[in-house]
Structure 1
Amino acid sequence: MANPVDDDAAAPTKTLAGKTASKSARTRERILDSAAHVLSRKGYAGTRLVDVAAHANLQAPTIYYHFASRDELIEEVMWVGAARVHLHVVDELAALPAETTPLDRILTAVEAHLRYELLISDYTTASIRNANQVPEGLRAKAAAEEAVYAKLWRDLLNDAMDAGQLRPDLDISVSRLLLLGAMNWAAEWWNPRHRTLEDLIGATQDMVRYGMALPQR
């Protein structure tokens, strides 16, 4: 088969790890970006490689130089979605002043998660919306990343509990699942024409302040 035309731009881009990418890596990233866009809107069953190629402005056979199959491409999108929201939240937490309280770190993580999920990344939306649609085998890589991300939230809640900022009767495990579940579900129903992202972030932070935290004196 002849090598398909690739009109990739010459400007370097960054990989997930932050390194300058080669032309081949940029093309792969472009395919992933387009797959995330299509998957977040059409779902697992409706995602076709021809649509991914059209969105990426590439010839469809180009995809097979980077991914062996549609499912391999979707598996990678699902993992990237989980990994990037995790990385974004970690970066936002790392930027906080050292004296930030554990409760305020949770509130920052809430905002970072929702902004990335709903405003910044098609990947995260695609990963969340298709978690129960893709075959179980395609979920394993993303699920492993999600488990690491869940530990971050468990540590945040435990730190706030140890600091005496959460209700002593609070079930950390259940609360973590409810909070993450509520934020992830927002990808299905949030509409910026009905309420702003700032309103949604504020309401979610209030769930933490008034449903999980001790009353502030």
Structure 2
Amino acid sequence: MSPHPGLGSPAATEQSQSRLSRRRERRKSEIVNAAIALLATNGYQGMSLDDVAERADIAKPTLYHYFASKDELVSAALEALTTGVLTCLTSVLDATSTASHHERLRALMTEQLRLLTDQFPEVGTIFSWQTSWPAMHDEARKSMRRRHDAVFRDVVSAGVNAGELDCENIDAALQCLHGTINHASIWLSHMRDPHQAERSKTDLLNALMRVFTSSAA
């Protein structure tokens, strides 16, 4: 008969380390989420590690066990938001892999509107064209915006090449798309009547699709 795993056994040690690792990742996620919320409301200059620690309900020295500096935490927050959004958009593309380019673009628009309204409302604020961010983070935000833009651009370009979409200037059309959805997410989030919000969302998506389906005269 094999010995029962004791507290000092390799199995018990591995299990304990696994729990510690999960606990550490949860705490790290809580800190990043606190930073995201503060960046959205206060901006880079207005976010302090004291405020992050208070919002995450931890002591400031504990915070330094996870992030050595404010800039390290901000970098993690920006990457977490970008990864979250891109993961959702990629899932939409995977789910619509056999659909038309027209349908895939509308599905992306719908998901982007949902993300900004419900799941990641901070994105519109944090990734807007503000000038008060340090150069290192401003360059990172530009890179992340390009990664996000590429998801839509690839679908639009493929649709234009296939003759399914009609768009004379993809850059201008995408600016219209992102700018409209960013502002519309705020507009829709303040609607108290869910039926009105749903009708308005449908009308908005129909209007945006027309940007990609007819050339200017």
TM-score normalised by length of structure 2: 0.76
Letter in 2 for 1:52: V
Structure showing the higher helix proportion among its residues: 2
CA contact (8 A) 2:78 2:141 kept: yes
Which structure is higher in RCO with an 8 Å CA cutoff and minimum separation 6?
Answer: 1
Letter in 2 for 1:51: D
Q: 1:123, CA displacement in angstroms?
A: 5.0
CA contact (8 A) 1:110 1:205 kept: yes
CA contact (8 A) 2:36 2:122 kept: yes
CA distance in 1, matches of 2:171, 2:115: 23
Letter in 2 for 1:75: S
Structure 1 runs (4+) deviating above 4 angstroms are none
Does residue 163 (structure 1) correspond to residue 151 (structure 2)? The answer is no
Does residue 84 (structure 1) correspond to residue 81 (structure 2)? The answer is no
CA distance in 1, matches of 2:71, 2:198: 36
Equivalent residue number for residue 204 of structure 1:
204
Q: 1:135 to 1:201 in 2, by over 3 A?
A: farther
CA contact (8 A) 1:36 1:122 kept: no
Letter in 2 for 1:155: D
Unaligned residue ranges in structure 2 (runs of 5+)? 1-15
User: How many percent identity over aligned positions?
Assistant: 21
Equivalent residue number for residue 118 of structure 2:
119
SS in 2 for 1:201: helix
Letter in 2 for 1:166: L
1:146-183 per-residue CA deviation (whole Å, 9 max, x = no partner) reads: 2222222111101221232222x521122122212322
Q: 1:210, CA displacement in angstroms?
A: 2.3
Equivalent residue number for residue 6 of structure 1:
none
SS in 2 for 1:22: helix
1:170-202 per-residue CA deviation (whole Å, 9 max, x = no partner) reads: 211221222123223446x43523375535532
CA contact (8 A) 1:44 1:130 kept: no
Does residue 172 (structure 1) correspond to residue 133 (structure 2)? The answer is no
CA contact (8 A) 1:77 1:123 kept: no
- The number of residue pairs the alignment matches comes to 195
CA contact (8 A) 1:82 1:142 kept: no
Letter in 1 for 2:111: A
Over the aligned positions, Cα root-mean-square deviation in angstroms equals 2.8
Q: 1:46, CA displacement in angstroms?
A: 2.1
Equivalent residue number for residue 106 of structure 2:
107
Q: 1:48 to 1:199 in 2, by over 3 A?
A: farther
Name the larger-Rg structure: 2
Equivalent residue number for residue 70 of structure 1:
70
CA distance in 1, matches of 2:126, 2:58: 23
